Chain A
C-alpha cells in the first residue's frame, strides 16, 4: 500500500511550499534544470517514456498528446493547464495549488520547453478564488526570480503563465469548452476534430493538461522517466492522487502508486473507514461521472485497467464513498441534478435528457414514481442520451445512474413504487 508523495511534495516536506525558497529547498526546480539540459524533442520523449497518463479524467498518454502538436506552423503554440477541477468528489488539484503551486509552475515550464511554447494559461475555476490568490503570489514570485519571463527557458527563451479565472461552470473543465471560455465565449464544447493539439486556443496548436499531470513532470524529469515508469503497472505507471469523500471518517487526498493499493485499502486504511456498523454500499471511484461499483468490487487495485475490469473508470480519482445509510436513488437524483444544472445546453440529448432524468428520479424519490414504467423510461433514456452527444458530459451523467440501476435494481423498483426513505438525520449519526 505504498504512498508516494511525488506530486504532493509538500507532504514529504511536511509543510506547504508556498514560497520559492521553500520549494527549492524541497528539491524544486531540479526537474526543470534536467529538462533544459535536454533538447525539446528529448524532453518530449521523456514524457512518453515515463508512461504518464492524463490525470484530468480521460487518462490519455501525456507524451503522446504532446507529440501531436504540429511544429513550425508559424503560429504560437500554447499550453493550457486545466485547473477547473469541478468534477464532484475531486479536490486533488486544489491541494497542489494551495500547498505546492511552484511544482505546477515548474511542470508547465518543463512542458513549455518540450513543446516550445512561450505562453501558458492556467484556467482555474472561479470557486477557487482563494487558491487563485496563492497561485497569483507564486507566479509573481517566480516572475520576480526570473523563473518566468524573458529568460525562463534559458538562452533568452521567454515563457510566462497567465492565470485565467473561470466564473462557475463545470463544463469549462471539458477541454474545448475551456478553450471557448478562455477565448471569451460561452463555455460550450467544440466539435472535434479538429483537436486542440492542432487547432486549440485561438486556432493555434495547444497542449491541454490537468494540474496533476503537469505537476507530475518535475519529479519525472529529475528522477528520470524510468523511475516513474517503474512504479506500478506497465501500462499505467506512476502515482495518482485519489480524493476520498463521502461516508468515510478521514476524507482527504491520498497519493498512491497505481496498481499497488486496493480500493478497500484506500477507503479503510487511508481514509479511516466508515462509521461503526456501516457497510460500503456504493463507490464512484473516479469522480461522479463514472459507473458506480459495490462492496463486491472493493478489492480492485487502483489503476486504470483494473478499474475498467470491474466496469468503472479511474477518471479524475475523485472517490465518493456511500454507506448503507443512504438511498441509492436519492444519491442518483442528486447527481442527475448536478448534470442537469451543468449541461451547457448545446446539444439536444444532454440539454433535454439530463433534465428529464432528473425529473424522473426526483419524482421517484418524492414518492411520485410510476413503478416499472419509470424504470423502463430511465433505461430507454440512458440509451437515447449516451454516445449521442457532442461532449462527454452527458455520458458522465448517464453512467453513474445507469450503473446504479444495474447494481441496485430492487431498490430502484422499490423507490419507484414507494419513494425514498427519509434521509438519516445527520446529527444522529455524525460522519467523521
Chain B
C-alpha cells in the first residue's frame, strides 16, 4: 500500500518505513524520519532545487546511477539507501573534491566551529583530501561591502548567495563570474554589495566564504551562546538568533529554524547589525539621581527607592509615557503601576504613536499572516513603503510576484518594488482615489492580501474606510496592517491610548511627574511641544536605554535594558505575539523596564504579584480579551496570533494642519535611532532629508546641493535637499533619519497630516 489514507506516500529509507506528503524531496522525507543526508546547495527558501553540489547522492533501487536526494521527490514504494557503500562513497567523494581546492584554514576562519563543511569533513569524510596538487588561488579576501567579507578561496560555489541576491532579494548584485574551477563570487566591477538584505548571504553560506565584517575575529564558536529572539527593529517582528559572549551581544543572525509564518529566516541588515547600538557611547550605564544634593550616580536599588518615593507620594499626578518598542508585559505593568501611584490618584498611561481613530473598519478586516502572502493571487500595498519601513515584508511580496501573484504598489512614494511590480503613484493626500483602483485589482481575486500603512491611512480615515469597504466585499481578501510602531499592535491590544491626552494634560499643568519608559519624545513627532510639556511637569523620571533629550532634566534616570537584552512579548504587525529572550545584558547598571516597575510597586508597598514576565503575561491574558488563552508555552518559538480587538468606528476626513506643501513622511528603519547609534551601519544608515520633485524644487528656487528650511506648526528644521524625479509635485517628502536632525519633530504629535513651508536655508544655517 503505497499511498496511505492520509494522502501520505509510503517509502523505505535505509530499511525504515517513512511517510511523506507528495512532492516532498527525499532529503526532507529522510530528515523528518531522523535520517540526515548531507547537503550544501539545497535550500528550498531559494527556489526549486538546483542539484549542483552533488553532496546528497543516494541510491534508489530501480533507478540508474545515484540520485540527488534534494531533487528527487518521494514516490510510492521507493526504496532508498542513503548509507550504502555506494552512497557513502559518493558522499565522501564529493566531499573530497570539495576540499581539493579549499584552503582548510578552519583555525583562522570565522566560520570555524559552526561550518557545515568542516562539520561534514569531521563526521562523514575522510577528514582530508588526498589531493597533493597545489590548490587554486583566488584574489585575496576582500570586503564585499563594509558589512560582508568575501574569501573566494573558501567558496564551494554552492549558488546560495547568488540565488539569494538574484532570486530572493532580486537586487541582482551578487553573481558568479568566470566558469569551471575559476568560478568566483563577484559584484559588478568590484562595486560594493549594497542592499537592505545583504547579511542573509552570510547565514546562507555553508562555508566561511562570506562572513560578517563586524563579527570578524570577535568570537570563536565554542565560547558563544545562541538564543532565539525577535527583532524589535520594526513591526515585522522577524525572528532572529542572538549570539552572546562574555555578556555581550556579538552577532545577530537569521534563525536557523526560521519562522515560516513571519520572516522565513531572513532579516534585514538594520536588524542584523543594529546590536552595536547596545554599547554606543550614549548608552546609559548607571542610574542618575538629581536632587538638592546635585546630580550623581546612585546604585539601582537606591534609584528604585527614589522612584517609588516620588511616584508614591500622596496626590502626585503621574503621567506614564510608553515608547514604541516596549513589551506587552511592560505595557501591562505600567498600567498596574498607574493604579498604585499618587497614593490613590491613578496615573495616565499612554503610548507614543498613532491614535488611529477612523481605522476601525479597516482593522476589522480579516487578518493575514505573512505566509498567506505566498499563496495570494493579488497583493496590494496601499500607502507606506514596506521596503524601507518593514523591510523583510518586501521579500515576501517579491516571492508572491515570482509565484504569479499580481502585485501593485499604490501610494505616494516611489518604492524598491516599483521596477518589478505594478506601481500606481497616487497624489499625496489622495489615497481615497486609490479605492477605485484597488477595487479593480481585487476583481476576481480569491486570495488577495492587502497590506496597508497605518500612518498613511490614519492620516486619511476616509480613504481607510473606503478601502476597507472594497476589501471587505472581496471574497477571500485579507489584510495586513503595516504598523508604524514596533509594539503598536500589542499596546493597542492592551487598550493603551495614544499620547495626545497625556501631552494635553502636561501642557495644561495637570501632571506633576512624567515617567517615560523607553522613549525620547523630544526627538519624535511634536518634539518641541513634548520638551516644553515635560518641563511643566516639574519632575521627570526616565527609564531609557540611551541618553535622551530628557536625561539631563530628569530627577531620576533608570537605565533600562534594550529588547535584545530583555524578555517578554512583542506583537508584530500581523498580530503575532512572539517572545523576546535575553541575549545578554550589556549595561551593568540597567534593569528591564518590567523589573523596575515591579520593584517600584514593591517599594510603594503595594506590590504586583508578578515576578517574571511570564507571570505578568498570564495575568494580562486573563484581563485582556485579545490575549485570552495565550501563555508563554502557546507562544513557543513560532508565536501565536492574538485576537482582534474591536475598534472605534470610522471618523470623517482630516484636514492637514499648517500651510505650504503637504508632508509625505517616510521613516526608514535604516534611519532610526539604532541605525544611527550602530557604528556597523555607518555606511548604510539613512540621513534625514527633504525630497522634492524637480519642478517643485525649481519653483522654490532650491538646488540639489542646498539645504532647506522646513517649517511646520511644530517647528523648523534645516535639512539636506534631495531632488527626485519620481516624486509628486505639491508635496515635500520628509525622510526621517538621524534623530538629532529634528526631522521627526516637524510632525504633529498624532502624526496626522501636516503641511510645511520649504525655503532655501540661509547661509549661516547651511553649515549646521
Contact = CB atoms under 8 A, between A and B. Distances in A.
A409 interface: no
B54 A347 contact: yes
A341 B180 contact: yes
A297 interface: no
Interface in B47-76: 49-55, 57, 65-66, 68, 71
Given A186-B176, A191-B71, A347-B53, A384 B181 contact: no
Interface string B457-492: 000000000000000000000000000000000000
Nearest to A370: B132
Interface residues of B, number: 37
B517 to A, nearest CB: 54
Nearest to A360: B133
Contacts of A390: 51-52, 54
B51 A348 contact: no
A351 interface: yes
B90 interface: yes
A345 B183 contact: yes
B131 A345 contact: no
A354 interface: yes
B99 to A, nearest CB: 9
Interface string A373-408: 000010010011101111000000000000000000
Contacts of B157: 345-346, 348, 351
Interface in A78-95: none
A377 B97 CA distance: 12
A166 to B, nearest CB: 13
A348 B94 contact: yes
A338 to B, nearest CB: 11
Contacts of B179: 169, 171, 186, 188, 343-345
A355 interface: yes
Contacts of A188: 179
Nearest to B65: A387
B130 A377 contact: yes
Contacts of B90: 384, 388
Contact of A354 (B57, B66, B136, B180): B180
Contact of A356 (B57, B65, B133): B133
Given A384-B96, A389-B54, A355 B180 contact: yes
Given A355-B136, A360-B133, A387-B65, A348 B180 contact: no
B54 A356 contact: no
A349 interface: yes
B97 A384 contact: yes
Contacts of A356: 97, 100, 131, 133
Given A191-B71, A387-B65, A352 B54 contact: no
Max chain A Cβ within 10 angstroms of own Cβ: one of B49, B71, B97: B97
A359 interface: yes
B296 interface: no
Contacts of A160: none
Given A345-B157, A377-B130, A388-B90, A352 B181 contact: yes
A173 B243 CA distance: 48
Contacts of B132: 370
Contact of B93 (A191, A341, A355, A388): A388
A318 interface: no
Given A191-B49, A387-B66, A348 B182 contact: no
A295 B182 CA distance: 38
Contacts, number: 100
B128 to A, nearest CB: 14
Interface in B255-286: none
Contacts of A354: 180-181
Nearest to A171: B179
A340 B66 CA distance: 23
Which secondary structure dominates chain B's binding surface? loop
Interface string B88-111: 011001101110110000000000
B52 A352 contact: no
A342 interface: yes
B57 A352 contact: no
B318 interface: no
Contacts of B98: 348, 352
Nearest to B71: A191
B65 A352 contact: no
B167 to A, nearest CB: 12
Given A388-B93, A389-B54, A355 B66 contact: no
Contacts of B54: 347-349, 388-390
A200 interface: no
Nearest to A339: B180
Interface in B120-179: 130-134, 136, 156-157, 159, 176, 178-179
A352 B157 CA distance: 11
A352 B97 contact: yes
A370 B180 CA distance: 26
A345 B53 CA distance: 10
Contacts of B134: 359
Nearest to B99: A352
Contact of A343 (B53, B57, B133, B181): B181
A353 B51 contact: no
Contacts of B53: 347-348
A188 B162 CA distance: 14
A386 to B, nearest CB: 9
A351 B57 contact: no
Interface in A141-178: 169, 171
A347 B180 contact: no
Nearest to A191: B51
A370 B148 CA distance: 42
A348 B133 contact: no
A9 to B, nearest CB: 38
A357 to B, nearest CB: 10
Nearest to B184: A345
Interface of A: 169, 171, 186, 188, 191, 340-349, 351-356, 359-360, 363, 370, 377, 380, 383-385, 387-390
Q: Report, nearest first, the 5 A-B pairs whose CB atoms are least far apart.
A: A384-B93, A345-B183, A352-B97, A343-B180, A191-B51
29 contacts: A169-B179, A171-B179, A186-B176, A191-B50, A340-B180, A344-B179, A344-B180, A345-B157, A345-B180, A345-B183, A348-B52, A348-B157, A349-B54, A349-B97, A351-B157, A351-B180, A351-B183, A352-B97, A356-B100, A356-B131, A356-B133, A384-B89, A384-B90, A384-B96, A388-B54, A388-B57, A388-B94, A389-B54, A390-B54
Given A348-B94, A349-B54, A355-B100, 6 more contacts: A346-B50, A351-B183, A377-B130, A383-B93, A384-B97, A388-B65
